[in-house]
Structure 1
Amino acid sequence: MREGCPMARTDDNIGAVRLTIKTDKRVGYQLIRTSLGIGMSQMHKILHEYLAVRKLCTRKRSRSRIPLHQDNASYVPLDTTNNLETLGIVILTYLPYSPDLAPYIFPEIKEKHLGKWLTDAEEAGAAYESPSKRSLSGGGDTRYGTEIRVRDHNRERDCGQSGAKARRFVIKQFSDNAQRNLENERGDICPDFGVGLRADAAACALKTMEVFFLERRPFSFELISAVRTAWRGTREIFRFVHLT
């Protein structure tokens, strides 16, 4: 026997790797390496030289026969909802004026469970619920500009009030310029607010949207529609709306 580090390619390690693969065919390199405490090169030789394991890639399947529903279409009409229920598709409701929680919650969940191995669906669900509830209740960090303080029992009420407050704030900002446009018989009529809007009123709208974006206030579809109607033919407003 030579002195130095012992060999990792022993019969026990080879048998342990074979048993791990038989137990879970989706097991990865990192889990095998952590459980057995062997190096990456030795594990690679055990898998491919001793066990002759190959990595199989799934074949691309044709999805032409799978019914796809357009994401930009409305899910409210009765025919659409009945068709989705017939196909067994569950519709997840999204509250109006509700912030997008996915960019905020998912990185925190990923950090909390980095390197952990979950054995079943119940354990995975419990692991997901803990950081997501803490984030929704305001216990998360502020790396995304502001804390999202939303609770399940009053979320719909708060979002509705903030949306109404946003519309009142926009109408107040538009009132002076819109009234002047009506008196001069210039500008377009915006159906969302029922007031005349022209380029100067749209500039005020753009400033209002900038304030909303910096203060993380919720946007309303009426606001975006009013700005588009007021400043028709320019690309700056569409670029700003896309960035927000």
Structure 2
Amino acid sequence: MTHQKWFKVFFILFLVVLFLSSGFIIMQYKSNSMAKDLEEYRSYYFVITGDKTICKIDTVTNQIISKINVEGKPEDIQISPDGKILVVVVSSSKDEDDTGFLLFYQIKDDKLLKKLEVGKHPSKISFTPDKKYALVANKESNDMSLIDFQNYTVLQSIAVGRKPKNFCISYDGRYCYVANTGEDTLSVVDMRNFKSVKKIRVGRYPTDVTIDKANGNVMVTLSREKAVALVNPNTENIEKIDLDDKPTKIYN
């Protein structure tokens, strides 16, 4: 075999080895990239346990992978619409009249990003449909805190009725309905200007509220009447459904 032929053979072998090695590198890169993506989008359960602990549970293994100890009493938890931030609503560990706060944690590593003071004895948080804001009900200061979720700041307080406990936001984001346990009313907040526009007397001790997707009526649990009130927010007409026991939560 001539030198020229040997050169061609070695050159072809060199190209084959180069091709195989580059393919291996690309496959390894893709594998590492996929693993990173899976880790980033892995989901978790978060559970309030005891007085001051949030358990983080892996949805794949169903194992507790970490615990977050908070100062004060966790009242509610929510995950941000993008799935990256855990928000914990905390009331004071000393007195219900003390100012409560929100804790913002980065889900991927449980890093505390921000502690934000809100009103007295906050009880619930929910995000607006446009994902720009969050609302927090403050039971002992008789108001709601409007949160700019992009900057973790309180934009304003919205006065509602006495002892607001739970609330829901309409699907179009136009109104927020607040159950005021201290005065048996439902506050209607206009989300275009973030002001309470009216109160509807619904019955004794409203504890929770949701919206009927079919007709837009507001459904309110009345704990001391053992009933659910079906409220037309436009006409303020109310129909009640009697129950056998005290309702505390309602879902739709």
The question of a shared fold, defined as TM-score above 0.5 by the shorter chain, is answered with no
Ranked by relative contact order (alpha carbons within 8 Å, sequence separation 6 or more), the top structure is: 1
| Higher Rg of the two aligned structures | 1
- For normalisation by structure 1, the TM-score amounts to 0.28
